[in-house]
Amino acid sequence: MTSTAEPEVGRARLRKEDARLITGRTRWTDNMVLPGMLHMALLRSPMAHARITKIDTTAAREMPGVIAVVTGQDLAEEQGSLPCAWPITEDMKAPDAPAMAVEQVNFAGEAVAAVIARSKAEADDALESIDIDYDELPVVLDMAAAIADGADLVHENLGTNRCATWVYDSAEAGSGGAIDDAIAGAEVVVERTYRQQRLIPAFMEPRSMLVDPTGDQITMWSATQIPHILRWMTAAVTGVPESKIRVIAPDVGGGFGGKLQVTPEEIITFLMAKRLGKPVKYTESRSESLASAHHGRDQIQKLTLAADRDGTLRGLKVELLADMGAYLRLVSPGVPILGAFMFNAIYKMDAYKFVCTNVFTNKTPTDAYRGAGRPEATFGIERMMDELAAELSMDPMELRRKNWITHDEFPFTTVAGLTYDSGDYESATDKAMETFGYDALRAEQQERRDRNDAIQLGIGISTYTEMCGLAPSRVLGALRYAAGGWEHAAIRMLPTGKVELVTGTSPHGQGHETAWSQIVADQLGVPFEDVEVLHGDTQSSVRGMDSYGSRSLAVGGTAIVLAAQRVLAKARKVAAHMMECAEDDVDFTPGTFSVKGTDRGVALADVVVHAHVAHDLPDGVEATLDSDATFDPENFSFPHGTHLCAAEVDTETGRVRLRSYVCVDDVGKAVNPMIVEGQVHGGIAQGVAQALFEEAVHDESGTLTTGTLADYLVPSAADLPSFDTSRTETPATTNPLGVKGVGEAGTIASTPAVVNAIVDALRHRGVNDVEMPCTPMRVWSAIQAGGAR
């Protein structure tokens, strides 16, 4: 082991996991084959709301290769109810959520029967022989209609489609004034209603699971983001002791929150493997994935922004309807609540009120999707800032500057009650504006307007922040979330000099193996290549809270640092003993211990061996240097940045072309700038997708009409401009690495930047909104309706 001159943290290293991920020569769940393995296929309801009046599985049982056919009735005793870990209010209504529908189906795509057969093809064939009759019930699709008096009910026994109403009021919380006073006293009040369309996470690897009941323990491989939570919840749902369950998330191909779930499919596969005593595999098709894996977003936002004529913000009122779909999944009710603290964003104001009503409909359940609550909030406020600027005839950037928290005001406690530890909105914005060429673009915009060009130009701004590093356990407790937000790491110093880092985070494409190795290499002074990162297996990674909410680095990375510090603390004792000096006289430079002021030293590698063989350890020191640590953050982290988008709008066809996209993000210290950039690129792509391309559409019977990737338009590189990304680095003050998180930043920032650009291009034609996704037809229709030709 030698000390590396150049620190690893900050190096744009190629990702060590990429070769196997890109070639697919790895353990994707569906690649795995076990002796005697059976295959499952699920029959899904084509109806969005119906009573099951008959299911006859006789013919299916007779089909070749079929081992078993089960219905919800057959599983009723064992399947329990799928967990919802976030009862946001005391009186929240939560329907029973069976993994397989028993008497009634509540969304199209819900599982109603399973076939287990010797091959996948035989299982698929047998599905068609199941005879099932439905009695249709009225379908509830529209949120406003769902909560009106006399509405048809999704769940008759709940007596209402209102799930819960959650309120944050700055006057009550003591973080600001009363919103009604602020609005009444304001010189300008802007009111808008925005729709956050329903989105589908559309991860590349479909959900896949394999459950092996052989032996005394049941092992479940699953393409999940949350092996630890899945193990816990599977035990809770099925009654099988947690100690008898091992969950492994092998390599996982994307999630975006879509695999932050305890799915019906996992529970059904688990129960069937247990019942049959044989390994059972289930891998969904793309269409099943689009229809039945949880969806995201789907909110109606009514926003009221109050300000003075000079642009000073007075207050913001947010009234939301959030579509839960038919059931509450793991964190469904809490997703909009994560936005409650972000609508005020980087701005100062006197008063703030947030009221969210969660609503049941006969659609696929919604839950976390990249950004979860925060993109909705950022979209809302960043669109409103542009609307207010237009109302005041003020430059939209000027309005933002006037109201944002200045660099010298940090730490700053916001009107929503959070304390932002750090930030430098001025630097990020200045840098972005310069690269973007703001003034020249404004001049071109004017010129195109003047000559009434068919192509109009718009500039979209998004000066976002977000809360990352989910989450301080105390805060989660106060928000009635059922679990903690800490993270765990263990370092095993192997006698051969190699290092195993066991993390409780669960990467599914983010590059943790590389970034975590860089952190360990710096902390201990070992070569990057010598670090092996282990994750995703509850038997080796015994404790963890998994990956979501841009938490892995800010929380999990900190746990790594703490574990490394414990390794070194112990090593220092052993080194002192080896060098026959007092512990206080030991110096550590990465990789080597030495006696202060002498040239006597001992390499960390030798200390490792010494501690491992334990032939001669000081009294009271246990064998090996292995150490672990659990970190619970005291605060969230707050990445921020400025995204600028120039969009050309073809007024004859409504097509939007993004001409340039510049962003400066401040995610604190970048452990691996290349990974940061990758996350920003992918994030922007996904945010642009919401602005321009993607929407889960249901017809009036509740059938998903965007049920294939030919209809649900996930953009590719060919549909996106090249992004100009750069960074400022204002270290977070709340963790030793100074990191903030970057998994969601691009998605959160880019959607309003794009829509603001479109509206900006057309405002002189009487357009002040285009509903997302801004399809060519919608843009063209908005121009026609604007009427200012």
Partner 1 sequence: MIPAAFDYQAPTTLDDAVRILADAGEDAKVIAGGQSLLPVLRMRLAAPTVLIDLSRCAELRGVREDGGSLVIGAMTTHYDVQGDHLVREHAALLAMATDTVADPQVRHRGTFGGSLAHADPAGDLLAPALALDCEFVVAGMDGRRTVAANEFFVDYFTTAMAWNEILCEVRVPKYTGWLAHYEKFNRVAQAWSIVGVAAALRVDGSRIAEARVGLTNMASVPVRARGVEDALVGEEATPESIRAAAEHAAEGTSPTADGDGDAEYRTQLAKVLTGRAVTAAMTA
| Contact set with partner 1 (CB under 8 A) | 41, 120-121, 124-125, 128, 285, 287, 652-655, 693, 697, 705-706, 708, 710-711, 713-716, 718-719, 775-777, 780-781
Helix (H) or strand (E) run with residue 287 in it: helix 286-292
Instruction: Give me the DSSP letters along 688-747.
Output: HIIIII----B-TTS-BS--STTTS----GGGS--EEEEE-----SSSTT-B---TTHHH
Of 379 and 693, the one with the shorter C-beta distance to partner 1 is 693
Supply the minimum distance, in Å, between the C-beta of residue 108 and partner 1: 15
Supply the minimum distance, in Å, between the C-beta of residue 297 and partner 1: 18
Cβ neighbourhood burial of 449 (10 Å; 0-12, 13-18, 19+): middle
Supply the minimum distance, in Å, between the C-beta of residue 128 and partner 1: 7
Cα(686)–Cα(102) distance, integer angstroms: 36
Supply the minimum distance, in Å, between the C-beta of residue 715 and partner 1: 5
Strands 627-631 and 640-650: unpaired
Structure tokens at 116: 């287990």
Around 336, how many Cα atoms within 13 Å sit in the side-chain half-sphere? 31
Strands 586-589 and 592-595: antiparallel
Of 480 and 655, the one with the shorter C-beta distance to partner 1 is 655
Of 601 and 715, the one with the shorter C-beta distance to partner 1 is 715
First to last CA, the chain: 72
Contact 99, 70 (CB under 8 A): no
Supply the minimum distance, in Å, between the C-beta of residue 499 and partner 1: 42
Cβ neighbourhood burial of 156 (10 Å; 0-12, 13-18, 19+): exposed
Cα(119)–Cα(65) distance, integer angstroms: 7
Supply the minimum distance, in Å, between the C-beta of residue 776 and partner 1: 7
Of 15 and 698, the one with the shorter C-beta distance to partner 1 is 698
Supply the minimum distance, in Å, between the C-beta of residue 212 and partner 1: 23
Residues 6+ apart with CB under 8 A from 279: 34, 35, 36, 37, 38, 210, 211, 212, 213, 214, 273
Contact 332, 92 (CB under 8 A): no
Cα(71)–Cα(43) distance, integer angstroms: 9
Of 391 and 650, the one with the shorter C-beta distance to partner 1 is 650
Supply the minimum distance, in Å, between the C-beta of residue 350 and partner 1: 43
Structure tokens at 203: 């991860």
Amino acid at 387: E
Strand partners, 20: none
Of 673 and 776, the one with the shorter C-beta distance to partner 1 is 776
Of 737 and 782, the one with the shorter C-beta distance to partner 1 is 782
Supply the minimum distance, in Å, between the C-beta of residue 66 and partner 1: 15
Supply the minimum distance, in Å, between the C-beta of residue 767 and partner 1: 16
Of 243 and 784, the one with the shorter C-beta distance to partner 1 is 784
Nearest to 414 by CA among 318, 315, 486: 315
Rg (CA), the chain: 28
Of 406 and 784, the one with the shorter C-beta distance to partner 1 is 784
Supply the minimum distance, in Å, between the C-beta of residue 44 and partner 1: 11
DSSP class of 207: P
Supply the minimum distance, in Å, between the C-beta of residue 409 and partner 1: 43
Cβ neighbourhood burial of 524 (10 Å; 0-12, 13-18, 19+): buried
Of 222 and 706, the one with the shorter C-beta distance to partner 1 is 706
Supply the minimum distance, in Å, between the C-beta of residue 691 and partner 1: 13
Of 120 and 600, the one with the shorter C-beta distance to partner 1 is 120
Structure tokens at 269: 């596969």
Residue keyed to tokens 């056919």: 69
